[in-house]
Amino acid sequence: MKPSRPETPPPADAEARRAVAPVICYPVETLPQPDLALYRRAAAGMEKTGEVLVPPRAARCFEVPAGHIFRIRSVEGAQVGDLNLWNAADLSERFYSGKTRALHGTHLSTGDRMWSSFPGLRPMATITRDTLDWYGFDSFGGAVHDVIGTRCDPYTHNLLSGGQYHHCCHSNLTRALAAETGLPLDQAEAHVHDVLNVFMCTGFTRDTGQYFMKASPVRPGDYLEFFAEIDLLGALSACPGGDCSSEHSSDAAACYPLLVETFRPADGALDGWAPPAVNGYDRSHGM
Ligand SMILES: [Zn+2]
């Protein structure tokens, strides 16, 4: 049992200490800003190049060349998706959920970017449209498209509930990446990483700071649109939690497919644009 907290009496100046104003950890004024006007001109005349339907409680991979656009679309019913992104030419460069959260906050929307792992630390994709941007933060502190959860996985499920459940997003992404690349399952699993929780509505409880979820406000037709900054391999899992209103890591929830659509930009729309270079740090680490 945990002791009842607090065990430690507050100091005399506790209130003064609590009253110190916070500062933003990473002021984003110096962050390279996306040229949304350029991306939207590219999207205005775009042509669809393909689509992948992700079945419920499964994941599928998709490729998007740099400068192309992709959309994750709700079809049939409210459904949450767990998104992984890799550099298509080097799986070791992958989406870095934690740093993206530190830069943009707990939930992403239009103009925010999905940043890659060290040493690349560059934008992999920029969100260019979000039909759920009307939601904002609700009275519980919930919002959509979070980078605070990780992905539902069979290890945590085993820890909390026992048993073997094989259709958590972690396993779905692992199977999809193994099928796409031909890697053995254990090697594919090592490339699966913390996700962007597409359409999921989440937050932290105000009193205990616990991660919560609630029914996604997504409706069929809603979509999240991305501009691919580099050549991408993506994988999307249609979470076994469905709209994540009650539970995940089981087959209890109603689940629906998700659609990934890819598009080529209008000819000449990106003239002068180039994919972002890897991060400028020299990696000598003071040696
Ligand atoms: Zn999941």
Q: What is the average per-residue pLDDT within 136-140?
A: 96
pLDDT tens by residue, 89-106 = 999 999 999 999 999 999
Q: What is the average per-residue pLDDT within 1-17?
A: 90
Residue 2 has pLDDT above 90, yes or no: no
Ligand 1 center–CA 240 separation, angstroms: 6
Residue 47 has pLDDT above 90, yes or no: yes
Residue 253 has pLDDT above 90, yes or no: no
User: What is the pLDDT confidence band of residue 40, given thresholds at 50, 70 and 90?
Assistant: very high
**Structure confidence at residue 29 (pLDDT):** 84
132 contacts: CB under 8 Å, gap ≥ 6: 109, 144, 145, 199, 217, 218, 222, 224
Ligand 1 center–CA 90 separation, angstroms: 25
**Structure confidence at residue 211 (pLDDT):** 93
Residue 119 has pLDDT above 90, yes or no: yes
Axis crossing angle, helix 169-181 with helix 154-161, rounded to the nearest 10: 150
Residue 154 has pLDDT above 80, yes or no: yes
**Structure confidence at residue 91 (pLDDT):** 98
All structural domains of the chain with their residue ranges: 34-264
Report the alpha-carbon angle 144-156-77, nearest 5: 35
User: What is the pLDDT confidence band of residue 30, given thresholds at 50, 70 and 90?
Assistant: confident
**Structure confidence at residue 209 (pLDDT):** 92
Per the listing, tokens 């959309």 go with: 71
Ligand 1 center–CA 273 separation, angstroms: 35
Ligand 1 center–CA 78 separation, angstroms: 14
Share of the chain above pLDDT 70, in %: 100
Residue 133 has pLDDT above 90, yes or no: yes
In angstroms, rounded to a whole number, what is the distance separating the alpha carbons of residues 88 and 83?
A: 15
Report the alpha-carbon angle 153-157-178, nearest 5: 30
Q: What is the average per-residue pLDDT within 121-135?
A: 98
Ligand 1 center–CA 12 separation, angstroms: 45
In angstroms, rounded to a whole number, what is the distance separating the alpha carbons of residues 153 and 45?
A: 40
Ligand 1 center–CA 30 separation, angstroms: 34
User: What is the pLDDT confidence band of residue 6, given thresholds at 50, 70 and 90?
Assistant: confident
Residue 248 has pLDDT above 80, yes or no: no
In angstroms, rounded to a whole number, what is the distance separating the alpha carbons of residues 60 and 83?
A: 10
Which residues are placed with Cβ below 5 angstroms of ligand 1, an ion? Answer: 152, 169, 239
Ligand 1 center–CA 161 separation, angstroms: 16
Quote the tokens at residue 16.
């003064």
Q: What contacts 24+ positions apart, CB below 8 Å, involve 98-101?
A: 98/147, 98/194, 100/147, 100/196, 101/147, 101/148
Report whether 236 contacts 229 (CB < 8 A): no
Ligand 1 center–CA 166 separation, angstroms: 11
Residue 262 has pLDDT above 90, yes or no: yes
Q: What is the average per-residue pLDDT within 245-250?
A: 76
Residue 1 has pLDDT above 80, yes or no: no
